[in-house]
Every structure is written in C-alpha cells, then in structure tokens.
Structure 1
Amino acid sequence: MPETASLSVGELARVQRRTVAVLSLGQVLGGLAFGATLSLGAVLAAELSGDEAFAGLAAAAVTFGTALTAVPLAAIARRRGRRLSLTTGMAVALVGVGLVIAAVGVDAFPLLLVGFLIIGAGQAANLQSRFAAADLATDASRGRDLSIVVWATTIGAVLGPNLTGPGEAVGAAIGMPALTGAYLFTLIAQGLAILVYLVAMRPDPLLLAQRVVASAPAGSRPIARADRPAAARYAIFAVAAAHGTMVSVMAMTPVHLTHLAHGATEAATLSIIGLTISLHIAGMYVLSPVFGVLADRVGRVPTILVGQGVLAAALLTASFGQNSTVAVTVALVLLGLGWSASTVAGSALLTESSSEELRTRRQGLSDFTMSVVGGVGAIVAGAVLGGIGYGGLALVVMALVVASVVLAPLGWRAAVRA
C-alpha cells in the first residue's frame, strides 16, 4: 500500500473489506476471553471475598480497567494507529489473566480485583475495534461495517462461558487452581489475537484514513463529515446508558441464578450460569448486523430508540419473572439485544458526528464514559440486590432507559441539521 492517500474509492473499499475481515477474526479470539471473564468473575469474587455483596466487584473492576485504558489506547491509535493500540490492549490483558489465576491460587481477593482491573485493557481493545471498522467506512456502510465486527465477537464470547467445564478438566490436569481452568483458553486466544493484529492489519485503517482526509479536496472526502458536537454528546450518553443498564443487571445475574439453583450441584449451577451468560452474550452480538443495516437505512437515533424499547422489555421481564430461571434467561437475551442496537447505532452516530481531528478523542471518551457508568452500576447493583432484590434492581435501572428516550430529540435534531 502506498504511503500517499491517492487511492481510488474502489481501492479504499478493498482495504476496508480486508480491515473488517481482520478485525472480525480478532474479535472472535477477543470475545473468547470476554465470555470467560463474565461467567466466572462474579463467582470468583464472591468465593474469595466470602461475601456475595462483593460479587459485582469483578465486573466493576473490568469496567473500571476498561475506563482507565480507553483514553490512553485511543491516544496510541491517534498517534501510531489502530494496530499498535489493539495489540497493546490485548498484551496488557494477558498480564491481568495471569494475576487472576495467581490470586485464586493464593486466595487473595485484592489481587483478584487487580487482575480483573488489568483485564479491562483487553475489553477496551475489543471496544475500540468497532471504531477501527468505521475508520474507512462511508455513510452508506458505516453502521453495517461496524456491526459486522461487533457480530464477530459472538463466536468467541458464546464459546467462552461454555468452556468452564472443559477448562476445569484441563486446568485440574496441569495443576491450575479451581475455577480458573477456562482462563487457559483465554491466554491462548488473547495471544492469537495479538498475532492476527500485528501481522494482518496492514495498512493501518486509521493512519490511512488520516492521510486520505488530509490530502483530499474538501468537497471530495467520502469518509469525512462536518463536526456535530450535540449529536456526538447524545451518542456518548446513549451508549453509556445502555452499557450501564446491561452491566448492572448482568453482573448480578450469576449470583441470583445461584440462589434459584439452591440445592443443585456446583457443576449443575455453573452449567446454568454458563448457558444463561452465553445466551446473553449471543443477544449482545448475534443480531448486530441487523441493527447496523437498520441504522444505515432508517437512521442512528431511531435505532437507538429501538434498543431502548428492548432494554425496557428486558428489565420488566427480569423484574416480574425474577423467580423463574427461564424468565431471567429471556431477560438477559433481551438485555443483550437492546445493548446491541443502542451501541451499534450510537457508535456510528458518534463517528460520523465527529471531525477527523476530534474523532479518536471522542471515541476514547465514549469508551471511558460507558466503562465508568458500567463499573459504578456493577458496584451499586450489589448493594441494591441485597436491599430490594433482583426484581427491584431491574426497576431501578429503568431510569437510564427513560433518560435516553427523553434526551433523544436533542441528538435527532442535531443529526437532521447536518
């Protein structure tokens, strides 16, 4: 690939297709680690702390770790490209996985939280990959391309929780601490993802996009848009609110399912938790291309509102069906679908509402904000669960959905004016 930006639209489209394919493969591998972390984190935190009220701290640590690394990774991307940024996040996460395994081995709860905090860098890289898919995309395909990469996470993320059983068998055979065997697969997947990004992501999509925008005449920039700060602010809020809604309920679901499975064996309980979280993650990713196409055709804000409607249905199902494992599972699937619609459409809106100079900064800010909101939600959810139960938690979280709907006209007007 030449260092100049004198590429035809067709050549840019070819590079974009290759980029989406590489990012999708990386997300398959990155999703494997994400799924295992979600399914085991709450259980490990409750076991090592000796108090279920601290179960949400595992998810909180991951999300705060994501927040802490989102802006630095975005800064690396802006200066050195997506390839270095994504590999850095994945490499740091490998250290976190090692610390989690060590923490369980020595029964050290604080070390466990440090490990999950560092794992958040991998999640920050996974989140950033959706923006990498939009670097060279046009208005007609931005939502679709972004959503394809989000969808690719489905494969690894759904497999991750279901590797708990096989992972325990393999881990026991090589002397790993109990409940950490699945992280062996995480280590392998993360390492392969790093290799994929380092070797195959050439040319770097963000660096190429920067050259295209810098060299093309102002009226002929197919991947550039005028800055729309009001629409960008609404996009950041909508994505963060959807993430906070999802994390708050999801983080407490393994603990709640443990109560519902009272009397069952540990293996049976872990299987129930693994299946439920797998279906939830499938909801997060498997229909994302549908939401991406919907966002391209009917608009970003209308698709965000579709997501809010699905989130509301999920919370009501969780609240009124809290005593049923089936109802809780249905609620988790709906929760994932609502998150998907809001995140895909919101991410596309943020990207196209930001000028090239501000885009990566706002993307980093968006990931930081959504992670902080998710982390606070996971911490507060533990206290709320202990006070008013799982059903009450779902109704409290509904406030975030209401806020996203009420503020939607602000983002809509800004988008229409552009």
Structure 2
Amino acid sequence: MAKQRRPEHLSQEKISAAQDNTLKVVMVSQLVSGVGLPTTILSGSLLSTELFGAESAPGIPAALSLLGAGVVAYLLGLLAKARGRRLSLGLGYALGGLGAMLVLIAAKFASTPLLFIGLIVYGSGFAASLHSRYAGSDLAHPTNRGKAIRVAFFASTIGAVAAPSLSKLIAEPTQSLELPSYAGPFILSALAYLFAAIIVLLLMRPDPYVLAQNLARFTGAKRSSATSQLFDRKLALFGGTTMFAVMFVLSGVMAVTPSHMAEAGMHPEAVQILISLHIAAMYLTSLVTGRWVDTFGAQKIAFAAASVSLISCIIIFFTPGDSVYLLLIALTLLGVGWNFGLISGSASTLAANNLGKNPQLQAKGDAALTFGGAVAGLLAGWLVTVTGYSAVMLVFLIIAACHLLFILFVARKGIGAQA
C-alpha cells in the first residue's frame, strides 16, 4: 500500500514558516499590549481613593481586573479550541480595549458601578497576554517550548517599562477631556489593546492551533496509555500550582506595597520607577528563563521561583517603606520569582497535555492563577486595614514558604522532572 502523501500545507517548510510568522505576530502584539499591563498597578491606589472615597480598598481595582481576566481566560481557551488562536487572541485584546474605554467613561461621570464593569472587562487584555504564550508554542518542537514562551514574555517588557513615560505624553489630552489625571494610562491602554487586536486578527495567518491540529490528525499523534494520562494530570497540577502560587504572592504584595511606599514618604516618581523596574524584572528575565527551562527542566526553575519569591518577601517584611534601594532589590526579586514560576509552570502545562494542543486545559490553569491573584489582592487590601502592612507581608511570606515546601515535596515524588 502506497504511503500517504503529506499535504502541501503540512510540509516542514510550511510549518516552519507558519511558526516563524506566529512568533513575530505574538512578539509585536505583546510589545504593543505590554503598555496596558502596569496600568492597574500604577493607577489602582488613585482609583480607590478618588472613586471609592476611602483608602480602605487598595486591592480592589487590580482584583477586579484579575477576576475578569480569569473568566475571560477560560472562555478564550474554549474559543481557541473551537475556532483557533487568532480569533481568541484578537477578541481578548479587543475586550481589553473596550474595558479601558468603559473605565474612562466611568471616570468622566464618576460612576462606580460602571468602573467595576470596566475593570472586569479590562482584565481581558491581561488574559489575552497570558494566552499568547501558548499560541507561540502550538507549532514549537518539544525541546523549544521554553523559547516559544520566552518570546511572548520578553516582548511585553518594552511596552510595560515604557508605559509610565508614555503616559506623560497623554497628560494634555487627559486634561482637555476633563478626565482625572489617573485616567491617562487607560487612554494609552485602550489604544494599545485595540491595536494589538488588529495586529493579531490581520496577521496571524495561518492559525497556529488549527495548523497544529491538522498536523496531529495527519501524523496520528495520540496518547499511548492510561498511565501517561495519569502522569499528565499530575504534571498539569504541578504546573498549575506553581503558576498559582507565584501569582498569588505577587498580587498580594503589589496590591498594598505601592500605597505603603507613598504613605512612608517615598517620592511619587521613585514609586513609579520601582514599579517599572519590578515589571521589567517580571518580563525581561524571560531572556534566560525559557532557555533554562529547556536546559535544566521545569522542576528546578520552579524551585528557584519559590526560593526567590520567599527571599523577596523576607526582605520586604524587614524593610522600611521609604528604603528605595532595599525595596528595589526586593521588588526586582519578586518579579524574577514570578517569571520563573510562570514560565516553568507554563512549560509543565504544555508537557502535560500533548505538547500544548489542549487550550481548554491551558485556560483552566490561567483562570486559576488569575482568580488566585484577585483573591490575594482582596485579602491583602482587607488585611492591611485590619492588621497593618507588616502583618500582610508576614502572611504572604508564610505562603511563599509553603510553596517552597510543596516544590520540595513533589521533587521527591519525581513530578515535574520530565517537563
């Protein structure tokens, strides 16, 4: 019987060209959308104070955005499985832009209910940003999963770090529209997310997930046994827990730390610089993290993530709120720990579900970690009003320590070593 001929669109040359195009589109869209990432961190305290009328809700804006990101992340996974990455990513970014515009309208008319809705919808942009790392890995070779994820994360660095400076350029339009000064970053975010949506919808052709599915059907790629499926579930749990833990710690700490630094007398520009460097550490570290995951394995990098996050929490716990240099070290380490955890956890998730060809499982992981971030932000905001900042940091220090113990436990069981 004659060997089945590989269709032209599934030739190795076509697959390689499609992967190159996907990575380029992901990089450009992430570079643009990265501008919207720090907006809720930089504007959250002002939102709470000005529209909530109190300083008792510092974690609410970020928590609402993460809550929306969790819901949309799950829906994007379902849509990607049914229609592909191009539509799911484009819709996610477009909704993020719509959310930013709703926040602007809420700020214009001082409408708290509309602000809540806008922040929730705004989280769609972050959900799409997370989702894009899997789009880059659909056609990637198993040994290059970390590289594919690295491209998506690194591209976000430029936009995220440039956001505070770019926000100054739209100060005049903000005033001319008679909007509060804190609304400026949301104008920038609306433009960035809508532009990212256009880039993805127009240029991500062919769709990497659809092409990967066609290739899998042609090659007859299937899981081999019930044993491998059981191992996959354990590996997915390891990856999901790793991402959840680093997101929980970072969200809780950053929900209250910027306002704590301001209350301690740190200059507003110094606060902005520290936050920008923190965000740079979150994404710039991807230059090496992806390579290290491919070289040393996800388990070792997850251990490093838990260790670095714990060290960061310890430094913050013992550091005064106006100590610029110590907080610079601590917040940089916090961003590095998040990066290590998210990339190693993502690589484990990819390894757990047939080289990443199950967007629904990926979406559950992203939904879990963003929901966790929302809970952490609300918890930190409530605790800081009841017990004070030091007690909040002690709580998240303990959580970071528990995460490290979890990594040591699963290492003894051999889970995650193969990712």
So what's the TM-score if we normalise by structure 1?
Answer: 0.91
Instruction: Deviation per CA, 1:37-92: give whole Å up to 9, x if none.
Output: 32112321222112212121000000000011111111111111111001111111
1:221-240 alignment, distance < 5 Å: 228-240=232-244
Letter in 2 for 1:29: V
Shift in alpha-carbon separation, 1:388–1:325, aligned structure 2, 3 A: farther
Contact 2:95 2:122 in 1 (8 A): yes
1:11-410 alignment, distance < 5 Å: 11-218=14-221, 228-261=232-265, 269=268, 271-323=269-321, 324-355=323-354, 359-408=358-407, 409-410=409-410
Contact 2:308 2:336 in 1 (8 A): yes
Contact 1:161 1:277 in 2 (8 A): no
TM-aligned CA deviation for residue 250 of structure 1: 0.9
CA RMSD of aligned residues (A): 2.3
Contact 1:153 1:285 in 2 (8 A): yes
Instruction: Deviation per CA, 1:83-137: give whole Å up to 9, x if none.
Output: 1001111111222111111222222233222211110111110110011111111
Contact 2:243 2:346 in 1 (8 A): yes
CA distance in 2 between counterparts of 1:207 and 1:178 reads 44
Instruction: Deviation per CA, 1:180-209: give whole Å up to 9, x if none.
Output: 122222222122111110111111111111
Contact 2:299 2:417 in 1 (8 A): no
CA distance in 1 between counterparts of 2:398 and 2:151 reads 30
More deviation, 18-27/251-260: 251-260
TM-aligned CA deviation for residue 391 of structure 1: 3.0
CA distance in 1 between counterparts of 2:17 and 2:368 reads 33
CA distance in 2 between counterparts of 1:302 and 1:20 reads 26
So what's the TM-score if we normalise by structure 2?
Answer: 0.91
CA distance in 2 between counterparts of 1:219 and 1:380 reads 43
CA distance in 1 between counterparts of 2:23 and 2:356 reads 23
Counterpart residue number, 2:414: 413
TM-aligned CA deviation for residue 332 of structure 1: 1.5
CA distance in 2 between counterparts of 1:308 and 1:45 reads 31
TM-aligned CA deviation for residue 385 of structure 1: 1.7
Structure 1 residue runs of 5 or longer lacking an equivalent are 263-267
Instruction: Deviation per CA, 1:223-277: give whole Å up to 9, x if none.
Output: xx97611011111011011101001011212211220227xxxxx52x2332121
Contact 2:33 2:193 in 1 (8 A): yes
Aligned-pair identity in percent equals: 29
CA distance in 1 between counterparts of 2:289 and 2:28 reads 20
TM-aligned CA deviation for residue 220 of structure 1: 12
Contact 2:102 2:117 in 1 (8 A): yes
Letter in 2 for 1:304: A
Letter in 2 for 1:23: V
Contact 2:349 2:356 in 1 (8 A): no
TM-aligned CA deviation for residue 219 of structure 1: 8.8
Letter in 2 for 1:105: K
CA distance in 2 between counterparts of 1:50 and 1:414 reads 48
Letter in 2 for 1:182: P
Counterpart residue number, 1:265: none
TM-aligned CA deviation for residue 162 of structure 1: 3.1
Shift in alpha-carbon separation, 1:332–1:415, aligned structure 2, 3 A: closer
CA distance in 2 between counterparts of 1:319 and 1:212 reads 51
**Secondary structure of residue in 1 paired with 2:142:** coil
